[in-house]
Amino acid sequence: MRLALLAAALLVPLAAAAAETRIPDRALEQAASLRERALADDTAWQVTESLTTEIGPRIAGSEADARAVAWAVAKFRELGFDKVWTEPVTFPKWERRSESAAVVGNNAQPLALTALGGSPGGTVEAEIVRFPDLAALEAAPEGSLAGRIAFVDYQMPASRDGSGYGPGSAIRSRGPSLAIRKGAIGFLMRSAGTDNHRVPHTGITRFDEGLTPVPSAALSIPDADQLARLAARGPVKVRMALDCGWDGEYTSQNVIGEITGRSRPKEVVLLGAHLDSWDLGTGAIDDASGIGITMAAARLVGQMPKRPARSIRVVAYANEEQGLLGGRAYAEKHAGEIALHQLSAESDFGAGRIYAFNTSGPEHAQAATRQIAEALAPLGIVHAPGEGSPGPDIIPLSAKGAAWAWLAQDGTDYFNLHHTADDTLDKVDPEALKQNVATWAVFAWLAAEAEGDFGSRPGPMPKPGN
């Protein structure tokens, strides 16, 4: 996932004149039994196990991407969704083929690194110049990196809400272009992660227009430690050899399953997650667990004694990792249906327990937001007014005016695994997954039963910061 912090402006009340939105007592009563059913249901685990085991890594544009799409169509059907369809998403395809690096010279030794998504291939051998953070690289004199490899050695901190990822991911997105402007022929960074294993963290980067891209990679955290120790002793030369790059276009699919609403079927509560993963791990916490949670939650709502008033739409987005391509395509295609998207949310911050809830709803939807939060309280969840942000694939939709909900997962351990080979099924706690499903099911049910709206209306919303 890519983390977007919410501009405070997004929370400004939108339409003071609207009637107050309320959730009927009967729906609230039914939410309690739905919650208990969800806590005993292992569908999310089964789905997560199936996707990670049968498909495995599924980087956008790969052969496994196509298998994942077919898998998702079949899984929605198997789970009893009323409608299942796909919507095409076209994007340039990036491939990793091989990568290696080593310190050369008196302290010769291999280094564990991984190319950043979007990096060109190439082999460079040069002295490194170490910078403690992005500001230090930014302050380097023009031309000072001529013929050198820049090494940005910033350690991101762990935090429950993932806020430490901001500066870490900024190095990944902005570092390579900054380094090129100073003359660098290669770019290395300490992985944006919080573990201490030899599993480097990949993630997309971009090169500014007009620059010639250079090989760009992330070192595992122990390798960054090692390079820092060597650099403290004197000049260090590194050889990095990346075989990777962009290779044509590919068309994948957003895969969508819907539980059709009984009385207002065109109005939808959208539950999102992304189907693609990076190629290094099997994408268990990023984001097979999100697929499992949302599919399982919608299925449980579909098994209520009566269908919800509105439709529950689960979107398994294509290619989130390389720039929200699925989320953008969905927003474009459904740009004329913003007001029908009552509330949209994405599960894309791992498989940890949910601890907070909020919506972007304006004043007239605050009471309904509080009602949902009260129904979630027995799951250990607090209402967090004024906080939150849309999940990554929801950003393009919310930028067009769609209201969003925030189901905040505990991400303390998320960046131990994020975008690494270590993102595998054994890291998922089945009990935490059930708590997630219960949360999403109750949320979806109540949002679909609410009388009145949550503030979605066409027209530009202030763009969320990132």
Contact footprint for its own copies (CB under 8 A): 49, 53-57, 63-64, 103, 106-110, 112, 196-199, 221-222, 225-226, 229-230, 233, 281-282, 420-422, 424-427
- Closest contact distance (angstroms) between CB of 356 and its own copies is 28
Q: Give 292 or 392: the residue with its C-beta nearer to its own copies.
A: 292
d(CA 286, CA 350): 6
Host H or E run for residue 341: strand 341-346
- Closest contact distance (angstroms) between CB of 420 and its own copies is 8
DSSP 8-class letter at 336: G
Contact 298, 442 (CB under 8 A): no
d(CA 456, CA 394): 13
- Closest contact distance (angstroms) between CB of 168 and its own copies is 18
For every residue of 125-179, DSSP letters joined together read: EEEEEEESSHHHHHHSPTTTTTT-EEEE---PPP-TT-TTHHHHHHHHHHHHHHH
- Closest contact distance (angstroms) between CB of 111 and its own copies is 9
Q: Give 49 or 374: the residue with its C-beta nearer to its own copies.
A: 49
Q: Give 33 or 53: the residue with its C-beta nearer to its own copies.
A: 53
User: Residue 438: left (phi > 0), alpha (psi -120 to 50), or beta?
Assistant: alpha
CA 385 from centroid of its chain's CA atoms: 23
- Closest contact distance (angstroms) between CB of 227 and its own copies is 10
- Closest contact distance (angstroms) between CB of 138 and its own copies is 28
| Residue 123 Cα distances to 102, 185, 200, 236, angstroms | 11, 10, 19, 17
Q: Give 62 or 252: the residue with its C-beta nearer to its own copies.
A: 62
- Closest contact distance (angstroms) between CB of 277 and its own copies is 11
Host H or E run for residue 314: strand 310-317
Q: Give 161 or 286: the residue with its C-beta nearer to its own copies.
A: 286
Exposure string (b/e) for 53-81, b if CB count within 10 Å is 16 or more? eebbbbbbbbebbbebbebbbebbeebeb
The dihedral built from the CA positions of residue 151, 152, 153 and 156, taken in this order, carries a sign that is negative
- Closest contact distance (angstroms) between CB of 252 and its own copies is 17
User: Residue 158: left (phi > 0), alpha (psi -120 to 50), or beta?
Assistant: beta
